[in-house]
Structure 1
Amino acid sequence: MTVRLTPLPAARFDDWSAATRERLIRLRQESGLRLGDEAVAQAGQYFSELLPHGLDSTASQVLRIADGAEELGTLWLGANAGRVFVIDLALTVSPSASQLDEIVAALRSIARGEEASMISIGLFRQDAEGHRLVDGRGFRVASIQMLLEPLPDRAVADHVVVAPMTEERYPRFARESEAAFAEDLAASGRYTPEEAVVESRRQFLQELPEGLSTPGQELFTATVDGVEVGILWIGMRDRGGRPHAFILDVEVAADQRRKGYGRELMHATEREARRLGADSVGLHVFGFNDAAVTLYEGLGYRRLEEQFILDL
């Protein structure tokens, strides 16, 4: 193996950090994941949290990728809880397939040294070289961030009634939604079953600290002829200074699937987003949920960022 990953020389840190900050901002803005100052703030947060002391920081490391005398780019890595995270991969040339193989082999070696069980890398849709790296080398899509913008003018079918969730219905929704999310987190491979339960509980309490009364949270049930067929949970966000609707949970009852109700719930999301002043809808979907991805893309949602995982 001739490709080596070695620490970035200290003399290059200032130039690297300026270029990387600019790259992180540009990728987020061009993808649509973050707009304007939001992308700038997120990039700044990465540096302040992961490289507070520059190259002397312990939370992450910056490496130079080289094949002999030829520099291929740089790699910013973090490690936590048995996982190695590729924070940024910046390739200055287009490596050959064999060089990409060696980069992944070197990553595996680093991960083994960290006693990690997986390598994780997030890639924006326009990152062609990053996708070349993961393609065909054992990585799988763990999760996808998607966006619908602008909102189409689509109505909910008359026979599907999507109305605000009642206080009586909420406790069962809370139990089932939290449990289902924990199962999905574990199935994605990003968390152990035990970790998934804790993370699901944390996120649920963060989003709904006051239950149905939590400001900015909209919960609904869908019924047909008085029979419940699904639920919908929308959290309102700010995106580029504009209201943005984010789908936190959408579920069709197990005995009501394959009847088109999932599509109607998505149409209801568009209706409610417009009512709340939003002109975009975002969502997160786990990579294993092929049916949901197909539905969303068929409705016009586009992929912004994909999280890939390599199990070790």
Structure 2
Amino acid sequence: MPLRLTPLADSRFDEWLAATRNRLIRLGQDSGMRPGEDAVQHADAFLAELLPAGLATASARILTIDDGGTEIGVLWLGLGHTRLFVVNLSFSVEPTDAQLQDLFDQVRDIARAENAAALTVSLFWQDAAGWGFVAGHGFEPSSIQMVLDPLPDRHDPSPLTLEPMSEERFARFIAASEADFAQELAASGRMSLEDATTESRRLVAKELPDGLATADQLLYVALVDGAEVGILWIAIRRRGGRDHAFILNVEVDAAHHRKGYGRAIMHAAEEAMRKLEVSSIGLHVFGANHGAVALYEQLGYRRLEELLVLPL
């Protein structure tokens, strides 16, 4: 008998919201993505953003999962620009492979009925049921959040150095960054290119309201024998009550690919953060950038959360 998906009753929304909040906090903390109070603040902001009208939010569908008269979980779906998102999937019992397959089939049918171009799921590394839901169906990682904590003690002499970015170089960097990020947002399926361009400008302005003078923002050019070979942008944030470096952008000029400069820039970033007494570095990498993912894992970065996409 197939699973039955039924809209969550209004009378149960507050109870479900509290349980979902607790689950998001626990996943964030246990994964290492957001230790301590970081996970609480993120969960509250996340729920407020995605459910502004509660159960009446037009883009949200919250469904109970019933098997033979017994409720075994709750599914939260969100409809984006061109995608159906599995926002949260929680079970009260450990699901069987058959139940997960049935649920996947029904969610895929919902996505197709909504004319979604893709099905998307965001998973922390320890979410066993979530990984069971996507297993064997062709999902590919779209983006990956990674962390290096603590920073290793390396001894890697290199001719590469990091120097603060000049105002002239900063102007060119910002123009290119806004354009590149807009393309990435549009490619994610979350919004149109026009909306992505506006959002890209907003986000860059939010990160750098005072340009190069913005507090806790470090922008470097990577030099070898005085010649620029790449750039590095780091934001100093808080993670678990400690200063945490987050790499917003790292690039090696196309003319200097395959010379080991990507690894050298990452090593230089570690050294720069050690001098600032910052003990961890985080970053986001697109899943299709297999070379970068492999490099970061070789350097000791571990995966915390992955956004997975299945084209329909």
Compute the TM-score of the two structures, normalised by the length of structure 1: 0.91
Structure 1 residue 94 and structure 2 residue 94: aligned? yes
Structure 2 matches for 1:12-23, cutoff 5 A?
12-23=12-23
- Partner of 2:163 in structure 1? 163
Percent identity over paired residues: 54
What one-letter code is carried by the residue in structure 2 that aligns with 1:203? L
Q: Is the 8 A contact 1:144 1:284 kept in 2?
A: yes
Q: Which moved more, 1:27-36 or 1:38-47?
A: 38-47
- Partner of 2:294 in structure 1? 294
Q: Which moved more, 1:251-260 or 1:201-210?
A: 201-210
> Residue 24 and residue 278 in structure 1: after superposition, are their counterparts in 2 closer, same or farther (change >3 A)?
same
Report the secondary structure of 1:153's partner residue: coil
> Residue 268 and residue 107 in structure 1: after superposition, are their counterparts in 2 closer, same or farther (change >3 A)?
same
Cα distance between partner residues in 1 of 2:177 and 2:49: 31
Q: Which moved more, 1:36-45 or 1:300-309?
A: 36-45
What one-letter code is carried by the residue in structure 1 that aligns with 2:27? L
Q: Which moved more, 1:219-228 or 1:115-124?
A: 115-124
Q: Deviations over 1:122-159 (max 9, x none)?
A: 10000011011112213221101111101112256341
Report how far residue 308 of structure 1 moved: 1.2
Q: Is the 8 A contact 1:3 1:67 kept in 2?
A: yes
> Residue 168 and residue 55 in structure 1: after superposition, are their counterparts in 2 closer, same or farther (change >3 A)?
closer
Q: Which moved more, 1:156-165 or 1:251-260?
A: 156-165
- Partner of 1:46 in structure 2? 46
Structure 2 matches for 1:62-141, cutoff 5 A?
62-141=62-141
- Partner of 2:36 in structure 1? 36
- Partner of 2:213 in structure 1? 213
> Residue 294 and residue 307 in structure 1: after superposition, are their counterparts in 2 closer, same or farther (change >3 A)?
same
Q: Deviations over 1:204-229 (max 9, x none)?
A: 22212222121111011111112211
Structure 2 matches for 1:234-249, cutoff 5 A?
234-249=234-249
Report the secondary structure of 2:88's partner residue: strand
Q: Is the 8 A contact 1:142 1:190 kept in 2?
A: no
- Partner of 1:3 in structure 2? 3
Total equivalences in the alignment: 312
- Partner of 2:25 in structure 1? 25
Report how far residue 53 of structure 1 moved: 5.3
What are structure 1's unaligned runs of at least 5 residues? none
Report how far residue 120 of structure 1 moved: 2.0
Q: Which moved more, 1:297-306 or 1:55-64?
A: 55-64
Cα distance between partner residues in 2 of 1:3 and 1:294: 39
What one-letter code is carried by the residue in structure 1 that aligns with 2:13? F
> Residue 110 and residue 175 in structure 1: after superposition, are their counterparts in 2 closer, same or farther (change >3 A)?
same
Q: Is the 8 A contact 1:155 1:267 kept in 2?
A: no
Structure 1 residue 174 and structure 2 residue 190: aligned? no
Cα distance between partner residues in 1 of 2:252 and 2:32: 29
Report how far residue 12 of structure 1 moved: 3.5
> Residue 183 and residue 275 in structure 1: after superposition, are their counterparts in 2 closer, same or farther (change >3 A)?
same
Structure 2 matches for 1:136-155, cutoff 5 A?
136-155=136-155
Q: Deviations over 1:167-210 (max 9, x none)?
A: 22212222223333334444455555444433332322221222
What one-letter code is carried by the residue in structure 1 that aligns with 2:86? V
Q: Is the 8 A contact 1:217 1:236 kept in 2?
A: yes
Q: Which moved more, 1:130-139 or 1:59-68?
A: 59-68
Q: Is the 8 A contact 2:161 2:268 kept in 1?
A: no
Report the secondary structure of 1:72's partner residue: strand
Cα distance between partner residues in 1 of 2:238 and 2:43: 18
Report how far residue 35 of structure 1 moved: 1.8
